[in-house]
């Protein structure tokens, strides 16, 4: 019998292993930037084309490499960061596994130039699919430049799984934000399709955050600083009113390494209990510095997961520090130069004794008097329909009335059943179909605003907004865009009573924007987001006319059974269902 276990060829195993490190273009950028940081660079330039699918180039002025180092850097598990197994348990560099360049080179085309001295002596290497096809000496400035072209060119199945350019660019921007914020003492620039998106000079942490996320974040930053034996914390917490429906403003760094941690997120979020609206997430830029021996970063090849030696104590420290930070913010006196003067106490009233309020008593009130139902309804003709009962005829049969319960559901009846409708999902469906009709028929109705709404977009929001202007126009928005300032003068009539700024930021910060695997089209995405943002919320009280209008509109929809996200809008209880409950 022949043997069935075989050793895979190196080129096959390398491509399989590359999947752990190189998941998308942003993974490549992360590894290249970390190498530049470990090379003690003071200036780093990033060039992107077609969301990184065609080109990712990183240029730095770091230590550089010799020709032998350049050859070795593409060998799997070759690294300059560690020397022994003991070093793995006290990692201080960004990289250490020696896998990144080997994995990247196996699924892309690479051109690398590097020089490690100031005498302009450098070298050039060109690789295709992990094999060197060209190399030569060049005259170069100190530092390294590496171009990664046509990612997954030799693994077409993997390339087909890449998302749209907009989605991949969003991931690239997230990686750039993480690295740029955590290394504010380094000069960064980002060029996308020959357009400079960021130029960030050396600056303080606060200025770097403002440079990346826009001037509007400045007044919402609350500094946090706590030193303990286990860990030192510093950075900024964002005020509760700046919370968003996405986690786009949540950044955690451990020893300057960007990480993801559910328990740290939970620790911070629990500190905001009672301060945030449902569905909103706090924002923060938290730097945790601790002894490298007390953490393990060798959990996954992407190095964004960390195990802590004493996570329970760290949880408590972070939770307490954030609460203390928020407490100081809440009780600190604030000079408000825009305060309404009508709320001030006049000088004449300061020394005036307070007046005792008068009490009126209804001497004819009899608590033991029994009202029948008809008298009760007649006495208070303004009583809400949902709080009263009326009878259709002498047979005491309930008429077809609509009422609200728990400020969440609307109860109605048909000839044979009881219908319980979720008011939020019902309104989402109504608005969703309205918005889609407006987009496809160009029949949107705009409402001009008395005062234009001005929104300062971040650089990443601006990039995405420029891609959606056609759908934005068709919805009925009238606006002017100057640099990063968006001035809106008219909005769709369905949104007139909503927070326009919050709705637009919610759309631009959504991680699923332009992800066609989750939406039929960009128009579908917009209609869903706008219907969610502007729909009647759970907990909102509706009068009888509003309840009736909502029910009628729902059953006029093409698909009244399901919300835009395919959730059940209503349930029906027939006579047998009700009788079975007794």
- One DSSP character per residue, 205-246 reads HHHHHHHHH-GGGGGGEEEEEEE-SS-EEEEEEE-GGG-BSS
Distance, in Å, from the CA atom of 544 to the CA atom of 400, rounded to the nearest integer, reads 13
Tokens 């919320």: give the residue: 537
Name the token pair of 288: 């945790």
- Residue 245 pLDDT: 82
Residue 395: per-residue pLDDT: 37
- Note the pLDDT of residue 58: 96
Rounded CA-CA distance 257/240 in Å is: 26
Indicate the pTM of the whole model: 0.74
Q: Check: CB of residue 59 under 8 Å from CB of residue 44.
A: yes
**479: DSSP letter:** E
Distance CA 76, CA 527 (A): 48
Cβ 186 vs Cβ 41: under 8 Å: yes
Torsion of CA 250, 96, 163, 525, to 10 degrees: -10
**pLDDT, tens only, 66-77:** 898 888 888 876
Q: Residue 354: how many CB atoms within 10 A of its CB?
A: 6
pLDDT of residue 92: 60
pLDDT value of residue 343: 46
Residues in the chain predicted with pLDDT less than 70, given as ranges, are 1-3, 6, 8, 10-20, 77-98, 298-303, 330-355, 357-400, 442-444, 496-498, 511-522
Distances (CA, A) of 189 to 202, 243, 323: 11, 28, 36
Q: What is the pLDDT of residues 113-162, one digit of tens each?
A: 999 877 778 899 999 988 899 999 988 889 999 999 999 988 888 888 88
pLDDT of residue 88: 54
pLDDT at 44: 96
Structural domains in the chain? 10-202 (3.30.565.10), 212-329 (3.30.230.10), 424-554 (3.30.1370.100)
Sign of CA dihedral 229, 231, 236, 242: negative
pLDDT given for residue 228 in this prediction: 92
pLDDT at 22: 82
* pLDDT for position 143: 92
């Amino acid at each position: 019998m022949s043997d069935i276990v075989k050793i895979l060829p190196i080129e096959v195993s390398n491509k399989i292993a590359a999947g752990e490190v190189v998941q998308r273009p942003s993974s490549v950028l992360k590894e290249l930037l970390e190498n530049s940081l470990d090379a003690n660079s003071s200036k780093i330039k990033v060039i992107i084309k077609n969301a990184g699918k065609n080109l990712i180039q990183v240029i730095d002025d770091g230590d550089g490499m010799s020709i032998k180092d350049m050859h070795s850097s593409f060998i799997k598990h070759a690294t300059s960061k560690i020397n022994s197994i003991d070093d793995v348990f006290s990692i201080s560099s960004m990289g250490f596994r020696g896998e990144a360049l080997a994995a990247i080179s196996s699924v892309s085309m690479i051109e690398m130039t590097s020089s490690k001295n100031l005498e302009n002596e450098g070298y050039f290497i060109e690789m295709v699919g992990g094999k060197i096809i060209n190399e030569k000496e060049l005259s170069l400035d100190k530092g390294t430049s590496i171009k990664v072209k046509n990612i997954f060119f030799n693994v077409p199945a993997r390339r087909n799984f890449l998302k749209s350019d907009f989605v991949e660019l969003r991931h690239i921007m997230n990686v750039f934000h993480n690295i740029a914020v955590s290394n504010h003492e380094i000069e960064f620039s980002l060029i996308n399709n020959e357009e400079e998106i960021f130029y960030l000079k050396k600056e303080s942490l606060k200025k770097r955050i403002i440079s990346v996320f826009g001037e509007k974040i400045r007044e919402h930053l609350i500094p946090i600083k706590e030193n303990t034996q286990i860990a030192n914390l510093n950075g900024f917490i964002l005020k509760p009113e700046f919370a968003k429906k996405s986690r786009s403003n949540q950044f955690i760094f451990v020893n300057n390494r960007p990480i993801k941690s559910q328990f740290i997120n939970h620790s911070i979020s629990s500190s905001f209990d009672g301060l945030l609206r449902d569905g909103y997430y706090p924002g923060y830029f938290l730097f945790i510095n601790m002894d490298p021996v007390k953490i393990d970063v060798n959990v996954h090849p992407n190095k964004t997961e960390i195990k802590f030696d004493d996570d329970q104590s760290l949880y408590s420290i972070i939770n307490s520090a954030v609460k203390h930070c928020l407490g100081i913010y809440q009780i600190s006196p604030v000079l408000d130069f825009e305060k309404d003067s009508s709320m001030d106490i006049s000088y004449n009233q300061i020394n005036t004794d307070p007046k005792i309020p008068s009490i009126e008593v209804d001497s004819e009130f009899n608590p033991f008097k029994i009202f029948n139902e008809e008298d009760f309804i007649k006495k208070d003709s303004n009583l809400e329909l949902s709080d009263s009962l009326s009878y259709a005829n002498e047979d005491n049969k309930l008429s077809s009335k609509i009422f609200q319960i728990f400020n969440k559901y609307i109860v109605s009846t048909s000839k044979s059943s009881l219908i319980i409708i979720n008011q939020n999902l019902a309104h989402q469906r109504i608005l969703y179909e309205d918005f889609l009709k407006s987009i496809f028929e160009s029949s949107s109705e705009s409402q001009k605003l008395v005062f234009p709404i001005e929104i300062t977009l971040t650089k990443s929001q601006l990039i995405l907004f420029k891609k959606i202007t056609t759908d934005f126009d068709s919805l009925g928005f009238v606006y002017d865009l100057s640099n990063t300032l968006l001035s809106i003068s008219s909005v769709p009539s369905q949104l007139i009573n909503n927070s326009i700024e919050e709705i637009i930021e919610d759309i631009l910060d959504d991680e699923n924007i332009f992800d066609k695997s989750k939406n039929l089209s960009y128009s579908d995405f917009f209609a869903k987001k706008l219907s969610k943002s502007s729909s009647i919320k759970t907990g909102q009280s509706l009068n009888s006319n509003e309840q009736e209008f909502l029910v009628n509109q729902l059953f006029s929809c093409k698909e009244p059974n399901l919300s835009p996200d395919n959730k059940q809008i209503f349930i029906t209880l027939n006579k047998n269902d009700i009788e079975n409950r007794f």
